[in-house]
Amino acid sequence: MSEPITETQVRHIASLSRLKLSDEQVHTFAHELGAILDYVRQLESVNVEGVEPTGHAVDLYDVFRDDEVGTSLTQDQATANAPQRDGAFFKVPKVLDSGAA
């Protein structure tokens, strides 16, 4: 095990992430982050000679289907189960403040 991550480092990381951590959480994360870094150091010792770098474990392929015209819902069908409607539209609570910033 190399030098452990300090609580000061955890507080700095939390500050950069805009997280508020209790003293208990800082202590816990210092231990957990140290264990993660130790595991990464262990992985660095694995012999990967002859192994090609890859971005994915499996081959990628196009998963999109053909764009085909199909039947669509009517406005009444689309809004049939809406909790609130305003004519043919969904009615939802206001989420933006109308006041000046």
Q: Domain range for residue 31?
A: 7-44
Find the CATH number of the domain harbouring 25: 1.10.20.60
Q: Is residue 34 part of a domain?
A: yes
Residue 98 pLDDT > 70: no
Residue 88 pLDDT > 70: yes
Q: Is residue 14 part of a domain?
A: yes
Q: What CA–CA distance (Å, rounded) separates 9 from 27? A: 11
Helix ranges, the chain (H): 7-16, 23-44, 75-79
Q: Is residue 55 part of a domain?
A: no
CA 43 to chain centre: 24
Residue 69's SS3 state is coil
Q: Is residue 67 part of a domain?
A: no
Contact 91/84 with Cβ under 8 angstroms? yes
**Count of domains for the chain:** 1
pLDDT bucket at 97, cuts 50 / 70 / 90: confident
Q: Is residue 85 part of a domain?
A: no
Query: According to the model, what pLDDT value does residue 99 have?
Result: 63
pLDDT tens sequence across 18-70:
999 999 999 999 999 999 999 999 999 999 899 888 888 888 777 788 888 99
Tell which wins on pLDDT, 59 or 90: 90
Q: Is residue 29 part of a domain?
A: yes
Query: According to the model, what pLDDT value does residue 101 have?
Result: 54
78: left (phi over 0), alpha (psi -120 to 50) or beta: alpha
Q: Is residue 88 part of a domain?
A: no
